[in-house]
Structure 1
Amino acid sequence: MIKLVVTDLDGTLLNDQHQVPERFWDIATRLLKKGVKLGIATGRPHFSITENFKPLMGHVYAISDNGSFIMYDKREIMSKPLPHEEIDALVKTSRAIENTFPVLCGKDCWYLESEAQVLLDRVLVFQKNIKIVEDLTRLNDPVLKMSVLDLAGAEQHAYPHYQSFADRLKVTLGGAFWVDVTRRDANKGEALKVIQEVNQITADETLAFGDYLNDYEMMKHAKYSYAMKNAHPAIIEAANFITEKGNNEAGVLDVIEALCFNA
Protein backbone atom coordinates (compact mmCIF):
# COMPACT_ATOMS: atom_id res chain seq x y z
CA MET A 1 0.00 0.00 0.00
CA ILE A 2 1.41 3.37 -1.00
CA LYS A 3 1.40 5.89 1.85
CA LEU A 4 3.67 8.61 0.42
CA VAL A 5 3.86 10.15 -3.06
CA VAL A 6 6.70 12.54 -3.89
CA THR A 7 7.25 14.18 -7.26
CA ASP A 8 9.77 16.45 -8.89
CA LEU A 9 8.38 19.44 -10.81
CA ASP A 10 10.20 20.56 -13.98
CA GLY A 11 10.33 17.80 -16.57
CA THR A 12 8.24 15.57 -14.31
CA LEU A 13 4.91 16.82 -12.98
CA LEU A 14 5.01 20.09 -14.94
CA ASN A 15 4.85 20.28 -18.71
CA ASP A 16 7.46 22.10 -20.78
CA GLN A 17 5.56 25.37 -20.24
CA HIS A 18 6.03 24.85 -16.47
CA GLN A 19 2.28 24.32 -15.97
CA VAL A 20 0.58 22.00 -13.47
CA PRO A 21 -1.74 19.53 -15.27
CA GLU A 22 -5.38 20.35 -14.55
CA ARG A 23 -6.07 16.76 -13.42
CA PHE A 24 -3.51 17.08 -10.65
CA TRP A 25 -5.75 19.04 -8.29
CA ASP A 26 -8.46 16.39 -8.15
CA ILE A 27 -5.93 13.58 -7.81
CA ALA A 28 -4.05 15.39 -5.02
CA THR A 29 -7.30 15.99 -3.12
CA ARG A 30 -8.23 12.32 -3.43
CA LEU A 31 -4.79 11.22 -2.22
CA LEU A 32 -5.00 13.42 0.86
CA LYS A 33 -8.53 12.25 1.65
CA LYS A 34 -7.25 8.69 1.44
CA GLY A 35 -4.58 9.51 4.00
CA VAL A 36 -1.66 9.40 1.56
CA LYS A 37 1.10 11.93 2.29
CA LEU A 38 2.12 14.16 -0.62
CA GLY A 39 5.46 15.84 -1.25
CA ILE A 40 6.89 18.20 -3.86
CA ALA A 41 10.66 17.76 -4.27
CA THR A 42 12.33 20.30 -6.52
CA GLY A 43 15.44 22.32 -7.19
CA ARG A 44 13.20 25.37 -7.16
CA PRO A 45 12.94 27.60 -4.06
CA HIS A 46 10.27 27.25 -1.40
CA PHE A 47 8.60 30.40 -2.78
CA SER A 48 7.97 28.66 -6.11
CA ILE A 49 6.19 25.75 -4.42
CA THR A 50 3.95 28.02 -2.35
CA GLU A 51 3.17 30.14 -5.40
CA ASN A 52 2.19 27.22 -7.61
CA PHE A 53 0.47 25.01 -5.03
CA LYS A 54 -1.40 27.50 -2.85
CA PRO A 55 -4.60 25.40 -2.62
CA LEU A 56 -2.64 22.54 -1.04
CA MET A 57 -0.19 24.37 1.20
CA GLY A 58 -0.61 23.19 4.75
CA HIS A 59 -1.08 19.63 3.50
CA VAL A 60 2.02 19.09 1.35
CA TYR A 61 5.65 18.55 2.24
CA ALA A 62 7.56 21.25 0.34
CA ILE A 63 11.08 19.97 -0.37
CA SER A 64 12.96 22.78 -2.07
CA ASP A 65 16.51 23.60 -3.20
CA ASN A 66 17.32 19.97 -4.06
CA GLY A 67 16.52 18.75 -0.56
CA SER A 68 18.24 21.52 1.42
CA PHE A 69 14.99 22.87 2.87
CA ILE A 70 11.75 21.20 4.00
CA MET A 71 8.61 23.03 5.11
CA TYR A 72 5.25 21.63 6.17
CA ASP A 73 2.26 23.73 7.22
CA LYS A 74 4.46 26.83 7.74
CA ARG A 75 6.84 24.82 9.94
CA GLU A 76 10.49 24.36 9.08
CA ILE A 77 11.25 20.64 9.19
CA MET A 78 14.85 20.81 8.00
CA SER A 79 17.40 23.35 6.74
CA LYS A 80 20.92 22.62 5.49
CA PRO A 81 22.70 25.81 4.34
CA LEU A 82 26.05 25.79 2.56
CA PRO A 83 29.11 26.59 4.70
CA HIS A 84 29.99 30.25 4.21
CA GLU A 85 33.65 29.42 3.66
CA GLU A 86 32.77 27.44 0.51
CA ILE A 87 30.67 30.15 -1.13
CA ASP A 88 33.61 32.41 -1.94
CA ALA A 89 35.39 29.70 -3.94
CA LEU A 90 32.19 28.55 -5.67
CA VAL A 91 31.32 32.05 -6.86
CA LYS A 92 34.85 32.77 -8.04
CA THR A 93 34.90 29.50 -9.98
CA SER A 94 31.74 30.52 -11.83
CA ARG A 95 33.09 33.98 -12.62
CA ALA A 96 36.02 32.36 -14.43
CA ILE A 97 33.79 30.32 -16.77
CA GLU A 98 32.56 32.10 -19.88
CA ASN A 99 28.79 32.59 -20.29
CA THR A 100 27.89 31.39 -16.80
CA PHE A 101 26.07 33.23 -14.02
CA PRO A 102 26.17 32.26 -10.32
CA VAL A 103 22.98 32.49 -8.26
CA LEU A 104 22.88 32.13 -4.47
CA CYS A 105 19.61 30.69 -3.23
CA GLY A 106 18.40 31.75 0.21
CA LYS A 107 15.25 30.66 2.02
CA ASP A 108 13.16 33.59 0.80
CA CYS A 109 15.22 35.22 -1.94
CA TRP A 110 17.70 34.52 -4.74
CA TYR A 111 20.77 36.74 -5.02
CA LEU A 112 22.39 37.72 -8.33
CA GLU A 113 25.33 39.96 -9.15
CA SER A 114 24.35 40.47 -12.79
CA GLU A 115 21.34 42.19 -14.34
CA ALA A 116 21.82 40.49 -17.72
CA GLN A 117 18.41 40.00 -19.29
CA VAL A 118 19.17 36.42 -20.29
CA LEU A 119 19.79 35.61 -16.61
CA LEU A 120 16.69 37.41 -15.38
CA ASP A 121 14.53 35.66 -17.98
CA ARG A 122 15.68 32.24 -16.76
CA VAL A 123 15.57 33.00 -13.03
CA LEU A 124 12.14 34.62 -12.96
CA VAL A 125 10.59 31.36 -14.18
CA PHE A 126 11.49 29.84 -10.80
CA GLN A 127 11.82 32.71 -8.32
CA LYS A 128 10.19 36.14 -8.31
CA ASN A 129 11.94 37.30 -5.14
CA ILE A 130 15.38 38.34 -6.35
CA LYS A 131 17.99 40.85 -5.23
CA ILE A 132 20.88 42.23 -7.26
CA VAL A 133 24.00 42.61 -5.11
CA GLU A 134 27.41 44.00 -5.95
CA ASP A 135 29.39 40.98 -4.72
CA LEU A 136 27.95 37.56 -3.93
CA THR A 137 31.01 36.61 -1.90
CA ARG A 138 30.11 39.28 0.68
CA LEU A 139 26.59 37.94 1.32
CA ASN A 140 25.95 37.07 4.96
CA ASP A 141 22.49 35.47 4.66
CA PRO A 142 22.13 31.66 4.82
CA VAL A 143 22.52 30.07 1.37
CA LEU A 144 20.76 26.76 0.74
CA LYS A 145 22.15 26.19 -2.74
CA MET A 146 24.30 27.77 -5.40
CA SER A 147 22.94 27.42 -8.92
CA VAL A 148 24.96 28.27 -12.00
CA LEU A 149 23.24 29.16 -15.25
CA ASP A 150 25.37 27.90 -18.13
CA LEU A 151 24.17 29.06 -21.52
CA ALA A 152 26.57 26.73 -23.32
CA GLY A 153 25.04 23.60 -21.76
CA ALA A 154 25.83 22.67 -18.17
CA GLU A 155 26.78 18.99 -18.46
CA GLN A 156 29.67 19.47 -20.90
CA HIS A 157 30.70 23.04 -20.11
CA ALA A 158 30.44 24.23 -16.47
CA TYR A 159 29.85 20.95 -14.61
CA PRO A 160 33.45 19.65 -14.93
CA HIS A 161 34.80 22.87 -13.36
CA TYR A 162 33.09 22.02 -10.06
CA GLN A 163 34.43 18.49 -9.65
CA SER A 164 37.17 19.81 -7.36
CA PHE A 165 34.37 20.50 -4.83
CA ALA A 166 32.82 17.03 -5.14
CA ASP A 167 34.76 15.53 -2.23
CA ARG A 168 32.98 17.85 0.24
CA LEU A 169 29.90 19.25 -1.55
CA LYS A 170 27.10 17.79 -3.65
CA VAL A 171 27.53 18.90 -7.27
CA THR A 172 24.74 17.88 -9.62
CA LEU A 173 22.96 18.84 -12.82
CA GLY A 174 19.65 20.56 -12.12
CA GLY A 175 18.73 20.75 -15.81
CA ALA A 176 20.26 21.16 -19.23
CA PHE A 177 21.53 24.66 -18.38
CA TRP A 178 21.97 24.46 -14.60
CA VAL A 179 24.63 23.20 -12.21
CA ASP A 180 23.48 22.97 -8.57
CA VAL A 181 25.74 22.83 -5.53
CA THR A 182 24.52 21.94 -2.02
CA ARG A 183 25.94 20.32 1.09
CA ARG A 184 26.82 16.66 0.60
CA ASP A 185 24.15 15.64 3.09
CA ALA A 186 21.52 17.75 1.28
CA ASN A 187 19.75 15.99 -1.57
CA LYS A 188 16.24 14.87 -2.40
CA GLY A 189 16.93 11.34 -1.20
CA GLU A 190 17.97 12.49 2.27
CA ALA A 191 14.95 14.81 2.42
CA LEU A 192 12.68 11.93 1.46
CA LYS A 193 14.16 9.84 4.29
CA VAL A 194 13.34 12.62 6.77
CA ILE A 195 9.70 12.64 5.68
CA GLN A 196 9.53 8.85 5.80
CA GLU A 197 10.93 8.83 9.34
CA VAL A 198 8.60 11.60 10.56
CA ASN A 199 5.58 9.66 9.29
CA GLN A 200 6.89 6.12 9.97
CA ILE A 201 6.60 5.26 6.28
CA THR A 202 8.97 2.80 4.61
CA ALA A 203 10.59 2.89 1.18
CA ASP A 204 8.28 -0.01 0.25
CA GLU A 205 5.32 2.32 0.83
CA THR A 206 6.74 5.21 -1.20
CA LEU A 207 6.09 6.30 -4.78
CA ALA A 208 8.54 8.83 -6.27
CA PHE A 209 8.94 10.50 -9.67
CA GLY A 210 11.93 12.27 -11.24
CA ASP A 211 13.61 13.09 -14.51
CA TYR A 212 17.03 14.63 -13.94
CA LEU A 213 20.26 14.00 -12.02
CA ASN A 214 19.17 15.96 -8.96
CA ASP A 215 16.51 13.25 -8.53
CA TYR A 216 19.04 10.40 -8.45
CA GLU A 217 19.17 9.82 -4.68
CA MET A 218 15.39 10.03 -4.42
CA MET A 219 15.09 7.06 -6.79
CA LYS A 220 17.07 4.99 -4.28
CA HIS A 221 14.66 5.56 -1.39
CA ALA A 222 11.37 4.45 -2.99
CA LYS A 223 10.38 0.96 -4.04
CA TYR A 224 8.05 2.54 -6.58
CA SER A 225 10.64 4.85 -8.13
CA TYR A 226 9.57 6.09 -11.55
CA ALA A 227 11.79 7.78 -14.09
CA MET A 228 9.89 9.83 -16.59
CA LYS A 229 9.81 8.58 -20.16
CA ASN A 230 11.67 11.81 -21.01
CA ALA A 231 14.23 11.39 -18.18
CA HIS A 232 18.02 11.58 -18.32
CA PRO A 233 19.48 8.10 -19.08
CA ALA A 234 21.12 7.90 -15.63
CA ILE A 235 17.74 8.37 -13.92
CA ILE A 236 16.10 5.75 -16.13
CA GLU A 237 18.85 3.37 -15.04
CA ALA A 238 18.50 4.27 -11.35
CA ALA A 239 14.70 3.97 -11.19
CA ASN A 240 12.76 0.73 -10.78
CA PHE A 241 10.12 1.75 -13.32
CA ILE A 242 9.59 4.12 -16.26
CA THR A 243 6.39 6.05 -16.99
CA GLU A 244 4.62 5.17 -20.23
CA LYS A 245 4.03 8.87 -20.94
CA GLY A 246 6.28 11.91 -20.63
CA ASN A 247 5.81 15.10 -18.65
CA ASN A 248 3.85 16.80 -21.46
CA GLU A 249 1.31 13.95 -21.33
CA ALA A 250 0.88 13.98 -17.52
CA GLY A 251 2.63 10.64 -17.18
CA VAL A 252 2.92 11.09 -13.39
CA LEU A 253 -0.85 11.26 -12.97
CA ASP A 254 -1.53 8.08 -14.92
CA VAL A 255 0.82 6.14 -12.63
CA ILE A 256 -0.73 7.61 -9.48
CA GLU A 257 -4.22 6.72 -10.71
CA ALA A 258 -3.15 3.13 -11.45
CA LEU A 259 -1.19 2.46 -8.25
CA CYS A 260 -3.12 4.47 -5.65
CA PHE A 261 -6.73 4.14 -6.78
CA ASN A 262 -7.01 1.12 -9.06
CA ALA A 263 -4.64 -1.30 -7.34
Structure 2
Amino acid sequence: MIKLVVTDLDGTFLNNKGTFDTELFKQVYADMQKQNIAFAACTGKQCERVEKLFAEHGKGIWILGDSAAKIKKDGKLIKEFTIDNNLAQKSISIIQQFDPEITIIACTSEAAYVLTAINDELFNIVKHSYEKVIKMDSFHQIESNFIKITVFDPESRSSELRKYIEITLLEQIYIVDSEPKWLDITALHTHKGETVKTLQSMLGVTFEETMSFGDGENDVELMNIAKYSFAVRNACENTKKAASFITKSNEENGVLLTIQQLMDLQKTDV
Protein backbone atom coordinates (compact mmCIF):
# COMPACT_ATOMS: atom_id res chain seq x y z
CA MET A 1 0.00 0.00 0.00
CA ILE A 2 1.22 3.47 -0.89
CA LYS A 3 1.22 5.84 2.09
CA LEU A 4 3.24 8.77 0.72
CA VAL A 5 3.32 10.51 -2.67
CA VAL A 6 6.16 12.97 -3.31
CA THR A 7 6.37 15.12 -6.42
CA ASP A 8 8.59 17.80 -7.84
CA LEU A 9 6.66 20.82 -9.09
CA ASP A 10 8.19 22.70 -12.07
CA GLY A 11 8.27 20.50 -15.14
CA THR A 12 6.63 17.63 -13.28
CA PHE A 13 3.42 18.43 -11.40
CA LEU A 14 3.01 21.92 -12.90
CA ASN A 15 2.35 22.48 -16.59
CA ASN A 16 4.48 24.76 -18.72
CA LYS A 17 2.40 27.76 -17.60
CA GLY A 18 3.29 27.05 -13.99
CA THR A 19 -0.24 25.99 -13.05
CA PHE A 20 -2.12 22.72 -12.46
CA ASP A 21 -5.56 21.23 -13.00
CA THR A 22 -7.21 22.27 -9.73
CA GLU A 23 -10.44 20.34 -10.33
CA LEU A 24 -8.60 17.09 -11.02
CA PHE A 25 -6.32 17.75 -8.05
CA LYS A 26 -9.29 18.21 -5.71
CA GLN A 27 -10.71 14.86 -6.81
CA VAL A 28 -7.42 13.00 -6.52
CA TYR A 29 -6.37 14.62 -3.25
CA ALA A 30 -9.76 13.89 -1.65
CA ASP A 31 -9.33 10.24 -2.60
CA MET A 32 -5.79 10.26 -1.16
CA GLN A 33 -7.08 11.65 2.13
CA LYS A 34 -9.74 8.92 2.32
CA GLN A 35 -6.97 6.35 1.93
CA ASN A 36 -4.69 8.15 4.45
CA ILE A 37 -2.00 8.83 1.85
CA ALA A 38 0.20 11.86 2.52
CA PHE A 39 1.02 14.25 -0.33
CA ALA A 40 4.31 16.17 -0.44
CA ALA A 41 5.52 18.84 -2.86
CA CYS A 42 9.31 18.69 -3.04
CA THR A 43 10.70 21.70 -4.87
CA GLY A 44 13.25 24.44 -5.27
CA LYS A 45 10.47 26.98 -4.85
CA GLN A 46 10.20 28.97 -1.63
CA CYS A 47 7.74 27.31 0.76
CA GLU A 48 5.60 30.43 0.88
CA ARG A 49 5.39 30.46 -2.91
CA VAL A 50 4.10 26.87 -2.82
CA GLU A 51 1.53 27.79 -0.19
CA LYS A 52 0.23 30.54 -2.45
CA LEU A 53 0.26 28.21 -5.46
CA PHE A 54 -1.99 25.61 -3.80
CA ALA A 55 -4.00 28.25 -1.86
CA GLU A 56 -7.23 26.79 -0.44
CA HIS A 57 -6.43 23.39 -1.96
CA GLY A 58 -3.29 22.95 0.11
CA LYS A 59 -4.58 21.97 3.53
CA GLY A 60 -2.66 19.00 4.88
CA ILE A 61 0.00 19.08 2.16
CA TRP A 62 3.61 18.65 3.19
CA ILE A 63 5.93 21.19 1.58
CA LEU A 64 9.60 20.29 1.19
CA GLY A 65 10.59 23.65 -0.24
CA ASP A 66 13.60 25.89 -0.77
CA SER A 67 15.41 22.99 -2.50
CA ALA A 68 14.26 20.65 0.28
CA ALA A 69 15.99 22.73 2.96
CA LYS A 70 12.69 23.38 4.78
CA ILE A 71 9.71 21.25 5.74
CA LYS A 72 6.38 23.01 6.32
CA LYS A 73 2.80 21.90 6.76
CA ASP A 74 -0.29 24.09 7.04
CA GLY A 75 1.81 27.22 7.49
CA LYS A 76 3.95 25.79 10.29
CA LEU A 77 7.71 25.27 10.00
CA ILE A 78 8.46 21.66 10.94
CA LYS A 79 12.18 21.45 10.21
CA GLU A 80 14.93 23.32 8.41
CA PHE A 81 18.53 22.61 7.40
CA THR A 82 20.80 25.66 7.38
CA ILE A 83 24.17 26.70 5.98
CA ASP A 84 26.50 28.49 8.39
CA ASN A 85 26.62 32.19 7.53
CA ASN A 86 30.41 32.24 7.03
CA LEU A 87 30.29 29.29 4.65
CA ALA A 88 27.38 30.84 2.75
CA GLN A 89 29.21 34.16 2.40
CA LYS A 90 32.27 32.31 1.14
CA SER A 91 30.11 30.53 -1.44
CA ILE A 92 28.68 33.84 -2.64
CA SER A 93 32.15 35.33 -2.93
CA ILE A 94 33.29 32.44 -5.14
CA ILE A 95 30.18 32.79 -7.33
CA GLN A 96 30.87 36.49 -7.78
CA GLN A 97 34.46 35.75 -8.72
CA PHE A 98 33.10 33.51 -11.49
CA ASP A 99 30.86 36.32 -12.77
CA PRO A 100 30.22 39.56 -10.81
CA GLU A 101 26.99 40.16 -12.76
CA ILE A 102 25.40 36.76 -12.23
CA THR A 103 22.01 36.65 -10.44
CA ILE A 104 22.30 35.30 -6.89
CA ILE A 105 19.29 34.56 -4.68
CA ALA A 106 20.30 34.25 -1.02
CA CYS A 107 17.63 32.55 1.09
CA THR A 108 17.08 32.58 4.84
CA SER A 109 14.10 31.47 6.92
CA GLU A 110 12.69 34.97 6.62
CA ALA A 111 12.97 35.76 2.92
CA ALA A 112 14.89 35.50 -0.35
CA TYR A 113 17.34 38.33 -1.00
CA VAL A 114 18.68 39.75 -4.25
CA LEU A 115 20.93 42.70 -4.92
CA THR A 116 19.38 46.10 -5.55
CA ALA A 117 20.99 46.31 -8.99
CA ILE A 118 18.88 43.44 -10.38
CA ASN A 119 16.86 44.46 -13.44
CA ASP A 120 13.09 44.08 -13.72
CA GLU A 121 13.23 41.11 -16.09
CA LEU A 122 15.46 39.07 -13.78
CA PHE A 123 13.48 40.15 -10.72
CA ASN A 124 10.29 38.80 -12.32
CA ILE A 125 12.02 35.48 -12.97
CA VAL A 126 12.99 35.31 -9.30
CA LYS A 127 9.43 36.14 -8.24
CA HIS A 128 8.16 33.14 -10.17
CA SER A 129 9.66 30.86 -7.49
CA TYR A 130 9.89 33.15 -4.46
CA GLU A 131 6.95 34.82 -2.74
CA LYS A 132 8.91 37.07 -0.37
CA VAL A 133 11.87 38.74 -2.09
CA ILE A 134 13.83 41.65 -0.60
CA LYS A 135 16.39 43.79 -2.40
CA MET A 136 19.59 44.75 -0.57
CA ASP A 137 22.87 46.50 -1.34
CA SER A 138 25.09 43.65 -0.12
CA PHE A 139 24.59 40.06 1.00
CA HIS A 140 26.88 40.85 3.93
CA GLN A 141 23.86 42.58 5.47
CA ILE A 142 22.49 39.09 6.16
CA GLU A 143 23.49 38.07 9.68
CA SER A 144 21.52 34.85 10.11
CA ASN A 145 22.35 31.44 8.70
CA PHE A 146 21.19 30.66 5.18
CA ILE A 147 18.70 28.07 3.95
CA LYS A 148 20.14 27.97 0.45
CA ILE A 149 21.80 29.94 -2.31
CA THR A 150 20.39 29.82 -5.83
CA VAL A 151 22.04 31.12 -8.98
CA PHE A 152 20.22 32.01 -12.19
CA ASP A 153 22.46 32.31 -15.24
CA PRO A 154 20.84 33.24 -18.59
CA GLU A 155 24.03 32.04 -20.29
CA SER A 156 23.39 28.44 -19.14
CA ARG A 157 26.75 27.92 -17.42
CA SER A 158 25.49 26.14 -14.30
CA SER A 159 27.59 23.02 -14.88
CA GLU A 160 30.71 25.14 -15.39
CA LEU A 161 29.90 27.18 -12.29
CA ARG A 162 29.34 24.05 -10.19
CA LYS A 163 32.80 22.77 -11.08
CA TYR A 164 34.31 26.18 -10.32
CA ILE A 165 32.75 26.24 -6.84
CA GLU A 166 33.68 22.64 -6.09
CA ILE A 167 37.38 23.41 -6.49
CA THR A 168 37.19 25.23 -3.15
CA LEU A 169 34.08 23.95 -1.39
CA LEU A 170 33.76 20.29 -2.34
CA GLU A 171 32.60 18.23 0.69
CA GLN A 172 31.54 21.41 2.52
CA ILE A 173 28.21 22.04 0.77
CA TYR A 174 25.68 20.23 -1.41
CA ILE A 175 25.56 21.70 -4.89
CA VAL A 176 23.48 20.72 -7.89
CA ASP A 177 23.07 22.23 -11.35
CA SER A 178 19.44 21.20 -11.72
CA GLU A 179 19.09 22.91 -15.11
CA PRO A 180 21.54 24.68 -17.45
CA LYS A 181 20.41 28.07 -16.11
CA TRP A 182 19.87 27.13 -12.46
CA LEU A 183 22.20 26.05 -9.66
CA ASP A 184 21.38 25.42 -5.99
CA ILE A 185 23.61 25.30 -2.92
CA THR A 186 22.34 23.84 0.35
CA ALA A 187 23.92 22.47 3.51
CA LEU A 188 26.03 19.34 3.07
CA HIS A 189 23.84 16.23 2.60
CA THR A 190 20.73 18.42 2.22
CA HIS A 191 18.86 17.49 -0.93
CA LYS A 192 15.50 16.13 -1.99
CA GLY A 193 16.36 12.50 -1.28
CA GLU A 194 17.60 13.07 2.26
CA THR A 195 14.72 15.40 3.17
CA VAL A 196 12.17 12.88 1.92
CA LYS A 197 13.90 10.25 4.08
CA THR A 198 13.43 12.60 7.04
CA LEU A 199 9.73 12.90 6.20
CA GLN A 200 9.41 9.14 5.75
CA SER A 201 10.88 8.67 9.23
CA MET A 202 8.52 11.27 10.71
CA LEU A 203 5.50 9.57 9.13
CA GLY A 204 6.66 5.99 9.68
CA VAL A 205 6.56 5.34 5.94
CA THR A 206 8.91 2.94 4.16
CA PHE A 207 10.62 2.93 0.76
CA GLU A 208 8.09 0.32 -0.40
CA GLU A 209 5.19 2.57 0.64
CA THR A 210 6.40 5.64 -1.27
CA MET A 211 5.64 6.91 -4.77
CA SER A 212 7.69 9.73 -6.34
CA PHE A 213 7.65 11.89 -9.47
CA GLY A 214 10.31 14.09 -11.06
CA ASP A 215 11.82 15.50 -14.23
CA GLY A 216 15.13 17.31 -13.57
CA GLU A 217 18.68 16.42 -12.60
CA ASN A 218 17.93 17.26 -8.97
CA ASP A 219 15.08 14.73 -9.01
CA VAL A 220 17.33 11.71 -9.43
CA GLU A 221 17.40 11.49 -5.62
CA LEU A 222 13.60 11.32 -5.64
CA MET A 223 13.79 8.28 -7.88
CA ASN A 224 15.98 6.54 -5.32
CA ILE A 225 13.77 6.94 -2.24
CA ALA A 226 10.61 5.29 -3.61
CA LYS A 227 9.85 1.83 -4.88
CA TYR A 228 7.29 3.37 -7.25
CA SER A 229 9.34 6.11 -8.87
CA PHE A 230 8.07 7.84 -12.00
CA ALA A 231 9.82 10.17 -14.41
CA VAL A 232 7.44 12.26 -16.50
CA ARG A 233 7.84 11.83 -20.24
CA ASN A 234 9.52 15.23 -20.58
CA ALA A 235 12.16 14.40 -17.93
CA CYS A 236 15.91 14.51 -18.50
CA GLU A 237 17.63 11.25 -19.41
CA ASN A 238 19.34 10.76 -16.03
CA THR A 239 16.03 10.95 -14.20
CA LYS A 240 14.40 8.57 -16.68
CA LYS A 241 17.24 6.09 -16.17
CA ALA A 242 16.89 6.29 -12.38
CA ALA A 243 13.08 5.91 -12.43
CA SER A 244 11.24 2.62 -12.22
CA PHE A 245 8.54 3.86 -14.59
CA ILE A 246 7.83 6.57 -17.18
CA THR A 247 4.48 8.36 -17.12
CA LYS A 248 2.77 11.06 -19.16
CA SER A 249 4.31 14.52 -19.40
CA ASN A 250 3.63 17.52 -17.18
CA GLU A 251 1.43 18.92 -19.96
CA GLU A 252 -0.72 15.77 -19.86
CA ASN A 253 -1.41 15.67 -16.08
CA GLY A 254 0.96 12.74 -15.80
CA VAL A 255 1.35 12.97 -12.02
CA LEU A 256 -2.33 13.30 -11.13
CA LEU A 257 -3.52 10.66 -13.60
CA THR A 258 -0.93 8.17 -12.34
CA ILE A 259 -1.96 8.78 -8.73
CA GLN A 260 -5.59 8.41 -9.73
CA GLN A 261 -4.88 5.04 -11.33
CA LEU A 262 -3.14 3.96 -8.14
CA MET A 263 -6.14 5.05 -6.09
CA ASP A 264 -8.41 2.84 -8.17
CA LEU A 265 -6.09 -0.13 -7.67
CA GLN A 266 -5.87 0.36 -3.92
CA LYS A 267 -9.59 0.91 -3.31
CA THR A 268 -10.22 -2.82 -3.26
CA ASP A 269 -7.73 -3.16 -0.38
CA VAL A 270 -9.14 -0.32 1.74
Shorter chain as denominator, the TM-score bin is over 0.9
1:55 maps to amino acid = E
Deviation digits for residues 83-142 of structure 1 (CA, Å, limit 9, x no counterpart)? 111122211122223452111012231101132223202101111311111111331133
Per the alignment, residue 137 of structure 1 pairs with: 140
User: Cα distance, 1:199 vs. partner?
Assistant: 1.5
CA distance in 2, matches of 1:177, 1:259: 35
Separation in 2, partners of 1:73, 1:131: 24
Contact 2:31 2:263 in 1 (8 A): no
Partner of 1:38: 39
Matches within 5 A, 1:103-118: 103-113=105-115, 114-118=117-121
Spell out the pairing of 1:68-107 with structure 2 (5 A cutoff).
68-98=69-99, 100-107=102-109
1:191 to 184, 190, 195: 195
TM-score, normalised with respect to structure 2: 0.91
Matching of residue 222 in structure 1 with residue 226 in structure 2: yes
Partner of 2:11: 11
The equivalent residue for 1:204 is: 208
Q: Is 2:113–2:136's contact at 8 Å kept on the other side of the alignment? A: yes
Pair 1:178–1:238, CA change in 2 (3 A) = same
Match of 1:178 in 2: 182
Read off the aligned partner of 2:49 and give its amino acid letter.
S
Give, in whole Å, the separation in 1 of the partners of 2:215 and 2:161.
20
SS of residue paired to 1:24: helix
Q: Percent identity?
A: 26
Select 2:173's aligned residue among 166, 169, 172: 169
SS at match of 1:214: helix
Aligned-partner residue type, residue 163 of structure 1: E
Give the alignment's Cα RMSD to 1 decimal. Answer: 1.6
Shift of 1:228: 1.4
Pick one of 124, 147, 150 that aligns with 2:150: 147
**What is the TM-score normalised by the length of structure 1?**
0.93
Is it true that 1:213 corresponds to 2:214 in the alignment? no
Counterpart secondary structure, 2:67? helix
Q: What displacement does 1:195 show?
A: 1.5
Q: For 1:75 and 1:129, locate their aligned partners in 2 and report how far apart those are by CA, in whole Å.
A: 16
Does the 8 Å CA contact 1:5/1:38 hold for their aligned counterparts?
yes
Bigger shift: 202-211 or 86-95? 86-95
Which consecutive unaligned segments of at least 5 residues does structure 2 have?
A: none
In structure 1, list runs of 5 or more residues that go unmatched. Answer: none
Give, in whole Å, the separation in 1 of the partners of 2:20 and 2:34. Answer: 20
Check the 8 A contact 1:43/1:214 in 2, yes or no: no
Q: Which amino acid in the other structure matches residue 250 of structure 2?
A: N
How far off its partner does 1:156 sit?
4.1
Residues in 2 aligned to 1:181 and 1:158: alpha-carbon distance in whole angstroms: 11
Does the 8 Å contact 1:58/1:73 carry over to 2? yes
Q: What is the CA–CA distance in structure 1 between the aligned matches of 2:63 and 2:186, rounded to whole Å? A: 17
Partner of 2:252: 249
Q: Do the aligned partners of 1:205 and 1:223 also contact (CA within 8 Å) in 2?
A: yes
